[in-house]
Each structure stands twice: as C-alpha cells, then as structure tokens.
Amino acid sequence: MQLTVTEENYLKALVHQSFLAAQPVGVGTNELADILGVKPATVTDMARRLSEKQLVLYQRYSKIQLTDVGREVAMKVVRKHRLWETFLHQHLGFEWHQVHAIAEQLEHVQSDELIDRLDAFLGFPTTDPHGDAIPLANGAIEPMVTHNLATEKEQHTVKVIGVSTDETSFLEYIQQMDIQLGAEITVQHRNNFDKLVSIQVNGREQVLSEHLATKILVKCSACGH
C-alpha cells in the first residue's frame, strides 16, 4: 500500500500514543492535532482518508484508533526510523540528539529489502541510540521494563539504558553531564524538600531536578533490572 509521508506520520503518531499507554488506545482529534501541530479540522480530514483505506477506525466525535493493518504499517515506519537512528549514530558519528531529525526523513524509504539489509548490517540491534526497542520485521516489539532515575534509592548504582524523550535540548544537556547510554550513575542523595537528585557519573558530581531525572531510564548495574 503506497502512502504519503503525511499519512505515515499520522499513523506513527497514533502508535506512539499506544506506546505511552502500554496498550492500544484511541486518540482524540484535538489531542492528535496538538501532537502534530495542525488544526483539528486537518486531523478530521486525514482521519476520514485513513478510515477509507481501512487504516484507522473513526467516527465523528469519537477517538481515532488504528486498525490491525494500520498498526502494522505504523510499526514498519517506527522500525525504519529506529534502525536509521542506530546507523547514523554508530556508523556516521552523529550524536544521539542529532539522529532523530535525520531519521524523520529516512523513515519514509519504501524498500523493505533495503531496511532488512540495514538491519542485518547493524547486527540486528534490539534498541536504538535512545534505548527504545526496535520492532521486528513482522511488527512485533518486545516490551521494555524500565525504571527512571528519580525512583532509585540512595547509594544505588544504575546503568543508563534509555531516555523517555528525544527533545534536542534535553539530550544536549545531559550529554554535557556525561550521561549517555551505558553510563553508570550512583545516586548519592535525594533532597526531599526541593526534589533535587545528587548523582555521580564518570567521577563527576552532578545535581539533577526530579523532572529531568524521571526522563532518564535505568536498570540496576548489579542485579540487571
């Protein structure tokens, strides 16, 4: 099925909301408009078009839901995006805050053979540079059990396995603190009054806000979870 870039972007936005909810969910017209930065009327027109192609379920005044076919198409776009991010980071030297915008362009390549070869070339990676799971060719995706840094106990040492946002300013900021995938962080102190989290990473003392710490996904270095 040949789709436009815009149609694929709508499907991807819908499946991302399912990721956030950890289950299939419908998305309201106004909510999707805010996510994509368009007018609600534009979303309504697109929802009708995608409904005609049997990619979404949509009725007036109801939420928009992906069909099984729509989810399959959306997952292919997500798969391509995350594989391209991995390639750009590992083989072309782009920093993790740079890869998202470029992958947004590359994700619309239509050749399944190219993407399968890219996957094999990369050694069939399971996560992208931000720690997000890469869907398999059949659209399946392994759920990732993660904790965020703000919930870790004092004196615990954890390993960074991902982030919950690809916002450029956030990624640039934490990279300046030497916080990146695989980095080991020791939580030294949590201030109950202002919620600041004191950490040590690569021998450096750092202080993070609770808001920032919640966006850093980690697992226990010693116990593996």
Over residues 185-219, the pLDDT tens digits come to: 999 998 888 889 999 998 889 899 999 999 998 88
- Amino acid, res. 98: Q
Residue 145: its pLDDT value, please? 63
pLDDT tens across 61-98, in order? 889 999 999 999 999 999 999 999 999 999 999 988 88
What's the CA gap between 172 and 169, in Å, rounded? 5
Residue 224: its pLDDT value, please? 47
- Relative orientation angle of helices 112-121 and 68-91, to the nearest 10 degrees: 40
Assess contact for 186 and 156: CB atoms under 8 A. yes
What are the b/e assignments for 156-183, b being 16+ CB within 10 Å? bebbbbbbbebeeebbeebeebebbbeb
Q: pTM here?
A: 0.78
